Amino acid sequence: MALPSDTATTRADGLSSVDLPRHEETDLSRLVRLHEIGARSVHAGNLEPLLRAALDTVIAVTHADCGHLQLIDSQASRLRTQTERGLPMAFVRFFDAAENVGSTWTVALEQRRRIVAPDVRVAPEYTAASRRVMLDSGILSTQSTPLLSRSGEALGVISTHFRVPHRCTEIELQLVDLVARQAADFIEYSQRRRELQDMCARERTERARAEAANDSKDQFLAMLAHELRQPLSAAFPAIEVQKRSLSPERRQRAGEVIAEQLAHLARLVEDLADASRMMRGTIELQREPVDLRTILQQALDMTAPSFQRRQHALQMDLGDGPVRVSGDATRLKQVFSNLLQNASSYTPAEGIIHGTLSVDRDQAVFRLRDNGVGIPAEALERIFDLFERGEHDASSPSVGIGLALVRRLVELHGGSVHAVSDGPGRGSEFTVTLPLMG
């Protein structure tokens, strides 16, 4: 027996299907459209169209007057409104700003189940303050359905509101569940996709860093071989001069060359030892009360030959009184001699280098300014990296350890160091701050 014509149709493939009532057919089309919007939103990496469509669909199927959709703010660990329809801004601002405020959506989130308040005026979920905001917004009834991941993790809540006391039908709530399920699936998928993309980006970054580290290692080994070869290349001929020359003056000069090159080698070896200590975190300080003026004067004596050889105009203002800090005298001398040597290396012959030591409240401040080659903006932080040499003068020995050691030693003393420059060719300034003795 054939079905009545108003309840059955024959499809193009010859099979019969039961006609849906008109309003259910509309609800079904909404769900299909929501799925399409969700797929496009996830693909585009923008969930906003999906969230708006989900809220509009729930408002439509529950015949509500207004509503809002919230997601959990992972940083604040509470709900934040992502989209709303028909709500005053005072409502949104109040519930987004308030913590632990009573409402159907906070309870729905906590209990992982739908909460319905047919009459807000007597609903136990609301505090006096939140109830007043609801009533001031013209809302007398509401339902809140949590958005849950497949594993039961709470993602957010979708709520619809009514301006009269109201209770949704079972069919309407089933449709809300379908919308919530679709929306939660897309939200979860989007979050997992974003996490995967972030993880891939981190892996790419780490891989790039590892490759850069390998490149830096290769460059460092090549540069180290060059730096070690230079003093040896100078020392061996001097040894031959000492062995073969009968002139006392030539033999004496050859001895001076050998001594200079051995000192150079000793500095390279000590730099490498310091680099190893930095990487292993084994640098130790022997603290005692020291006067930075004395330390700086000793560092100036150590580096004076470099300034004299390059005919630099060196101006130092160390003040009149002692500047006392608790520190390792040997290591602090290393800090300031490295900074002075760095200024000499990067300042052309006859350049100007100016240093000042001052006290600012509870800190000692040393500034060293030069009119040398300057530092590009993108390299200002990198210059403190281990084995970073920059545009170094080939005549001045360095393996790119000095400034890295300066930063580490200053930090071990509880201070800080930073560099500023107006760019290439415009000089640079290094500032070291150290805490004064109490």
Over residues 258-316, the pLDDT tens digits come to 888 887 788 778 778 877 787 788 888 899 999 999 999 999 998 888 888 889 999 99
Over residues 308-353, the pLDDT tens digits come to 888 999 999 998 889 999 999 999 999 999 899 889 988 999 999 9
DSSP 371: -
**Contact (Cβ atoms closer than 8 angstroms) between residue 166 and residue 121:** no
How many Cα atoms within 13 Å fall on the side-chain side of residue 410? 25
Q: Percent of the chain scored above 90 by pLDDT? A: 45
The pLDDT of residue 19: 42
For 240-338, strand residue ranges (E) read 288-291, 313-317, 324-327
Tell me phi and psi for residue 272, to 5 degrees. Answer: -65, -40
Q: Which conformational region is residue 86 in: left (phi greater than 0), alpha (psi within -120 to 50 degrees), or beta? A: left
d(CA 214, CA 370): 33
Q: Report the range of poorest mean pLDDT among 116-125, 219-228, 371-380, 420-429.
A: 219-228
For the residues 55-74, what does the mean pLDDT come to?
92
For 48-93, strand residue ranges (E) read 66-73, 78-85
Q: Which tokens sit at 304? A: 């004076």
Amino acid (1-letter code) at residue 274: D
Query: Is the pLDDT confidence value at 31 over 60?
Result: yes
Banded model confidence at residue 32, pLDDT cuts 50, 70, 90:
confident
Query: Is the pLDDT confidence value at 34 over 90?
Result: no
Q: Which tokens sit at 292? A: 């930075």
For the residues 13-19, what does the mean pLDDT come to?
37
For the residues 206-212, what does the mean pLDDT come to?
85
For helices 22-44 and 48-62, angle between their N-to-C axes, nearest 10 degrees: 170
Q: Report the range of poorest mean pLDDT among 30-39, 101-110, 153-162.
A: 30-39
Taken in order of first residue, the domains within the chain and their CATH numbers are 16-198 (3.30.450.40), 209-268 (1.10.287), 288-435 (3.30.565.10)
The pLDDT of residue 18: 36
Banded model confidence at residue 14, pLDDT cuts 50, 70, 90:
very low
**Contact (Cβ atoms closer than 8 angstroms) between residue 347 and residue 306:** no
Report which of residues 215 and 258 the model is more confident about.
258
Three-state secondary structure of 212-226: HHHHHHHHHHHHHHH
Banded model confidence at residue 119, pLDDT cuts 50, 70, 90:
very high
DSSP 21: P
Q: Report the range of poorest mean pLDDT among 158-167, 201-210, 223-232, 420-429.
A: 223-232
Over residues 348-367, the pLDDT tens digits come to 999 999 999 999 999 999 99
Q: Report the range of poorest mean pLDDT among 117-121, 143-147, 244-248.
A: 244-248
The pLDDT of residue 209: 83
Query: Is the pLDDT confidence value at 182 over 80?
Result: yes
User: What b/e sequence results for 70-99 when a residue is b if at least 16 CB atoms lie within 10 Å of its CB, and e otherwise?
Assistant: bbbeeeeebbebbbbbbbeeebbebbeebe
Q: Which tokens sit at 160? A: 């619809």
pTM of the model: 0.50
Over residues 99-112, the pLDDT tens digits come to 657 899 999 999 99
